[in-house]
Amino acid sequence: MGSVFLPHLHSGWHVDQAILSEEDRIVAIRFGRTTTIECEEMDELLFNIAERVRNFVAIYVCDIDEVPDFNEMYELYDNMCVMFFYRNRHIMCDFGTGNNNKLDFAIDNPQDLIDVLETVFRGARKGKGLVVSPIDFSRVRR
């Protein structure tokens, strides 16, 4: 039930404003279909870590059926994915899975997700557009 407590973005304008409004934190947006199990699990995890990462991450959720504006641009066809932005710039992360544009799989361990977010934040602050995940998820995932 984590998505109930996370801020929802209900239009393309809201997504843009969320990305543009943060100067010092990364913006993590969970895009997906809110009613799917993958989204519910990720939302629960994001909600559980939100307080611990609030100093360097702003977390939002966006239903891709309600707000289809970015589906084609960001290839949002999965039931769930998380994308990262810093100062209006998309930050990519190499998870070892072949898709660097977004986190498109569930992470079970809250600390693993916090570690990923910290890595994205540190890299983004240094001006990097692509960071390497501290965990190679190619083995963990399958």
Tens digit of each residue's pLDDT, the chain (142 residues)? 556 689 999 999 999 999 999 999 999 999 999 999 999 999 999 999 999 999 999 999 999 999 999 999 999 999 999 999 999 999 999 999 888 999 999 898 999 999 999 999 999 999 999 999 999 998 765 4
Residues 109 and 133: beta-carbon distance below 8 Å: no
CATH of the domain at 88: 3.40.30.10
Structure tokens at 88: 């209006």
Residue span of the structural domain in which 89 resides:
2-141
Structure tokens at 86: 């810093």
Cα torsion angle, 58, 102, 46, 128, sign? negative
Q: What pLDDT score does 101 carry?
A: 94
Q: What pLDDT score does 106 carry?
A: 86
- Domain count for the chain: 1
Q: What pLDDT score does 139 carry?
A: 76
Neighbours of 103 (CB within 10 A): 25
CA–CA distance, 61 with 29 (Å, rounded to integer): 5
